[in-house]
Amino acid sequence: KNLGLIFDLDGVIVDTAKFHFLAWKKAAKEVGFELTEELNEKLKGVSRVDSLNKILGWAGATVSEEKFNEMATNKNADYLTYVDKMTADDILPGVEAFIRKAKSKGYPIALGSASKNAPKILKHVGIYDLFDAIVDGNSVSKAKPDPEVFVIAAQKLNVPVANCVVFEDSEAGVEAANNTHMLSIGLGSEDVLSEADHVFPDFTKITLEFIEQQANK
Ligand code: B16
Ligand code: MG
């Protein structure tokens, strides 16, 4: 099979979750809410607007549309001050080598992320050019667990949906891949990602041979 490989960004290629957390924590404080790391888990893979809605819900706060937009804009500005300091050292272990190996074997590579900052982040860490297609928060209308982001990625790669493999760290993302019958590979803990076809702690434990075997079953 000609496989299409689709990678999530935050939590799979880079650990930007810690920066989202710091920026959301500051935003939450403004409405008198203390965002914990535990609740932050629920924001992974979730879009900016949906994340702010969740935080306001937890805080029991209602704000005007103007204030909402201001909070989202400020959060993103804060977040980008961290992103601007990112370098190649912020790429998670093993993932770049894995992508390069897959490319050398001719497999097309796509990004499938909820982030509107995806191209900027990839350029910052120097791996933008490795991707044959980038599908991100700017090009999708339905959030994960809707599979839209991965289905568009498959189309852009010109690979049938059934031949695609998705690498995801979030529950919603794994669900999205499963919803369109792509092979789902979870990155993180077995407890959180129990719905994934296979779970690994990180890319240093994944071989391309294993992925090929599973995808060709
Ligand atoms: P932005 P992913 C997601 O990235 C993050 O996990 C999530 O925390 C964030 O709110 C979302 O992107 C939107 O990001 O504010 O940059 O548009 O995991 O789908 O790569
Ligand atoms: Mg993610």
Ligand 2 centre to CA of 30 (Å) is 26
Predicted confidence at residue 15, as pLDDT, reads 94
Which residues does 99 contact at the CB level (< 8 Å), separation at least 6?
5, 7, 109, 127, 130
Region 17-38: what's the mean pLDDT? 97
Q: Is 129 a catalytic residue?
A: no
Please tell me the distance from the alpha carbon of residue 183 to that of residue 78, in angstroms, as a whole number: 35
Predicted confidence at residue 113, as pLDDT, reads 97
**How confident is the model over 150-171, as pLDDT tens digits?**
999 999 999 999 999 999 999 9
Q: Burial of 8 by CB count in 10 Å (0-12 exposed, 13-18 middle, 19+ buried)? A: buried
The yes-or-no verdict on residue 176 having pLDDT over 90 is yes
Q: Burial of 170 by CB count in 10 Å (0-12 exposed, 13-18 middle, 19+ buried)? A: buried
Q: What angle do CA 157, 163, 164 make, to 5 degrees?
A: 60
Strand pairing class (4-7; 183-187) = unpaired
Q: Is 10 a catalytic residue?
A: yes
Please tell me the distance from the alpha carbon of residue 130 to that of residue 123, in angstroms, as a whole number: 10
Question: Which two tokens mark 75?
Answer: 């959060």
Predicted confidence at residue 41, as pLDDT, reads 86
Q: What pTM, to 2 d.p., does this model score?
A: 0.94
The yes-or-no verdict on residue 217 having pLDDT over 90 is no
Predicted confidence at residue 131, as pLDDT, reads 98
Please tell me the distance from the alpha carbon of residue 99 to that of residue 90, in angstroms, as a whole number: 16
Predicted confidence at residue 35, as pLDDT, reads 98
Give the atom of ligand 1 at the shortest distance from the alpha carbon of 43: 8
Region 24-46: what's the mean pLDDT? 94
Predicted confidence at residue 1, as pLDDT, reads 79
The yes-or-no verdict on residue 195 having pLDDT over 90 is yes
CB of 135 sitting under 6 A from ligand 1? no
Q: Which of 10, 132, 136, 169 is catalytic?
A: 10
Q: Burial of 113 by CB count in 10 Å (0-12 exposed, 13-18 middle, 19+ buried)? A: buried
Please tell me the distance from the alpha carbon of residue 173 to that of residue 177, in angstroms, as a whole number: 6
The yes-or-no verdict on residue 49 having pLDDT over 90 is yes
CB of 117 sitting under 6 A from ligand 1? yes
**How confident is the model over 75-131, as pLDDT tens digits?**
999 999 999 999 999 999 999 999 999 999 999 999 999 999 999 999 999 999 999
Predicted confidence at residue 200, as pLDDT, reads 98
CB of 43 sitting under 6 A from ligand 1? yes
Predicted confidence at residue 124, as pLDDT, reads 95
